[in-house]
Amino acid sequence: MSDPVLRLSAVAHVFLGREVVSKLDLAIARSEVVALVGPSGCGKSTLVHLAAGLLVPRSGRITRAYARHGMVFQEPRLMPWADALENIAFAARLAGQGRAQARQAARAAAERVHFAAEDLGKFPVELSGGMRQRIAIARALVAKPDFLYFDEPFTALDVALKRRMQDLVIAASAAASLGALFVTHDLAEAARIAHRIAVMHPTGQGIAGLRAVPGTPGHRTETEIFDLTRHWQAEDPLFRHIHDVDERRIA
């Protein structure tokens, strides 16, 4: 691997006196999308929040070689008092752009995610779930980041809409050569969008292993994805516990 754009080395984190993740080692190359999978409660969200700087690790080192990142959460987290355009432009304003420039950038970002211009004046309550998630992706893209974090962003969407959102992620990453860390509980989603898959240890003790995904994101057929995920689940012991649930450790 060339010099990674993100590296976690021996990272650990404690919540309310309990160690929720430990021994985390992960490196992501520039322009590479890594999907993070693992059983519920193993610390996937904790890992991505540590990597993005939303949490401070108890120990270990996190090296970020990118200039700016964007993030998309499971919930769109839009400001209810602002219309769609202002929700996108808000991120550009935070990045230092003036009001007019931010609004222009917001319109361009909305176009990238195929959000209709006539809907930019609507408030979040007037938008469907898919439209709100498009706004969230546009907001992550508007400041032209060179790395993206996704924390299970499409869990609540139906299959067809989820697939369209995945296509947006694939296209955005390829167009701007963005690196990304994508947390998901859906192995087929991971196989569809990622170059590599990182599997977390069931009890949060680091990355249990990594697998390269054959082919290129956006060019794998549904049959290839189905066959690959079936092979992993039936024959690869690394994926044996990814659907387990430990409610005591959910983080």
| Pairing state between β 33-37 and 196-200 | parallel
For residue 80, what are the β-bridge partners?
A: none
Q: What is the pLDDT along the chain (251 residues), one digit of tens a residue?
A: 568 999 999 999 998 878 888 999 999 998 899 999 988 888 899 999 999 999 999 999 999 999 999 999 888 889 999 999 999 999 999 888 899 999 999 999 999 888 999 999 999 999 998 899 889 999 999 988 999 999 988 887 788 888 888 888 898 888 888 899 999 989 999 999 999 999 998 888 889 999 999 999 989 999 999 999 999 999 999 988 777 655 444 44
Helix H or strand E encompassing 5: strand 4-15
In the chain, where the domains are located: 1-67+146-251, 75-145
Distances from the Cα of 232 to the Cα of 73, 83, 189, 190, angstroms: 27, 43, 14, 12
Tell me the residue type at 115. F
This prediction's pTM: 0.89
The domain defined by 1-67+146-251 folds into Rossmann fold (3.40.50)
| Contact yes or no for 142/92 (Cβ under 8 A) | yes
